[in-house]
Structure 1
Amino acid sequence: MGLFSVGCLIENQQDRKRKVRIPKILVDTGSDLTWINYQYLKEIGIDTEKKDLRFKMANGQEITRSVSFAIVRVGKEFTTDEVVFAQKGDLQLLGARTLEGLNMKVDSRNKKLVAAGPFIAAGNIREIF
């Protein structure tokens, strides 16, 4: 896929005036969740909702981190998702679940995010039965 970064805005769900701009965050479709520096999350008043969740790193190491909820904006698109409180030494990552919520996909040739197109929905119930 090739590595690339995008800018994003992280907002507190309870108080949307509290936000922080992340000028460069690595797009990582191999990461389920989005990882944001814990200091940024604390700065905008986002508190831990889930503690000691287990994560398996690319090198096989297992670690624990706290998780909460935030609004993530990239360009004109936005979604609410779980975000990991990234600790010192962790990368800030825009994960696959957030990309799906944003309805964006990776254009690997041009190293950018693009619209994913229409959402997939179930068919007409009469067609199924």
Structure 2
Amino acid sequence: MIAVLEREVMAEKGKSAAQIGTMAFWYGGLGTFSNACIAKLVDGEWQSIWFSASSVVVALVASGIVWLFSRYGHSLEYVKYDAMLGREIAHITKAMSHNGISDEARKRWQNQLEAALEKRASAERDIANGTVDLNKLGG
């Protein structure tokens, strides 16, 4: 039980660090852009007021996007695991599409495909519970 809690805390710390880094990048870039626009306005270039107003709108929209990603985004581990499963599913689907494979081979591929789809359906929960170790899977 304690190990599960420790894994959950570490996963949240990793997710929080990634979100903070993303937000710092966007806020830093948008802050620089907005400051440049304000400097033009202070210098008496009133014709650029629409440019400055649009930069504020861009900053607000970008802040909203960053908030949405940090609120509803997936952890990096989930994204990696989902991509790995997607490649596995694509490989199986491609193998099944070849002509001339036996019914027995097709049945094995179908079973592997169903297992991969089940893994993908429960991927987010499995990552959160710590039942999937990407280091052991090669991800």
TM-score, reference length from structure 2: 0.20
> In terms of Rg, which structure is larger?
2
Larger helix fraction of residues: 2
Higher strand share: 1
The higher-RCO structure (CA 8 Å, 6+ apart) is 2
